[in-house]
Amino acid sequence: MITLPDIEAARRVIGDFDRQAAAGILRTPLVSSDFLDAMTGMRLGFKAECLQKTGSFKVPGVIHALVRGMAADARGVLGVSSGNQGLAIAYVAGLLRKPALIVLPQGASSAKVAAIRSQGAEITELHYTSYEDAMRTATNLARDRGYFFPDLFSDLHFVAGHGTIGLQILEDCPDVDAIIVPGGSGALAAGVATACKAARPSLRIFAVAAGDDPCLLTAFRERRPTVLSRLPATICDGLRSPVVAAPVLDQLLAYLDDVVTVSEPEVIHAMRLAWSHTRLITEPSGAVTLAALLSGRLPIARGSRVVCVLSGGNVDLAQALQYLAG
């Protein structure tokens, strides 16, 4: 288990790396919308992680995981990702002057694949039948090349790096009543919940999953680590995690209030509202937080101060325009 001091230490590590490597890490803003405040009867802030380096929240967590976990003699870095995580690994590997190999599932977002290639990473798209198969393949590739392969599904250094987002929310919005976080593997929600609940136990924190059979919902409700036999089918490609690992689940069970799910029409409606009234380009995986708030499934009272984390903005614009026009 990690604690608030671990997350504060992670912020120092990330800050030192940012200064030394000129990584360009942003303190992302909280963006408001009078229209959405009036629509919901709440005071909303949108944590704009879609503006972070590489277009998602991932980079600080990846920095912390690689700085704390990778041996100096590693020849490169290997990542398994459907997009944003691979892009962050490729970016940070470049700062460390290491080559990156990113293993993608078939059907990954074309926009994210192009962005990963733009960072100079090698891409291998594999058809694998299970999470275990993917991890076995990746482990073998990493061993053969002498690359470091961080298991970011269970790496608590990664979780602690994400927790720094929670510290920023508390500093920028000290009167916040509830925070809503997207949930795939649960690593982001675990970090934010650990940081914020440790400092403010009365704060309510919710994670939002998507898809027909979201792994996070099953793991949290049944209180057991969960591995799916297939990737969930959803337009929220950043939330298609097939696993919630024990170290992450332990943090969630200790600090998270609940997990809810949203439908694709609800996500698309939330994307339209976010794009129109915050002027932030959020991908479907980030829009789930506003979708959950609008759905009425969260026990948040009118008049509450609420922060929705918009976790990324790496969206295929042609596809997004179809969603927004429909």
State the catalytic residues. Answer: 58, 82
- Measured distance CA(98)–CA(105) in Å, rounded: 23
Distance CA 120, CA 132 (A): 28
Give the distance, in angstroms, between the CA of residue 38 and the centroid of all CA atoms in the same chain. Answer: 28
Residue 17 sits at φ, ψ, to 5 deg, of -65, -40
**Residue of 231, 225, 286, 229 whose CA lies nearest to 252:** 225
Half-sphere exposure of 145 (CA within 13 A, CB side): 18
Q: How far apart are CA 55 and CA 176, in angstroms?
A: 25
- Cα–Cα distance, 269 to 266 (Å, whole number): 5
CA distance 26 to 56: 11
Helix, strand, coil content of the chain in percent (nearest 5): 50, 15, 30
How would you class 34 by CB atoms within 10 Å of its CB: exposed for 0-12, middle for 13-18, buried for 19 or more? exposed
Q: How far apart are CA 193 and CA 183, in angstroms?
A: 12
In angstroms, rounded to a whole number, what is the distance separating the alpha carbons of residues 16 and 74?
A: 21
- 68 CB contacts (<8 Å, ≥6 apart)? 13, 157
Q: DSSP letter string over 29-50?
A: PEE--HHHHHHHTSEEEEEEGG
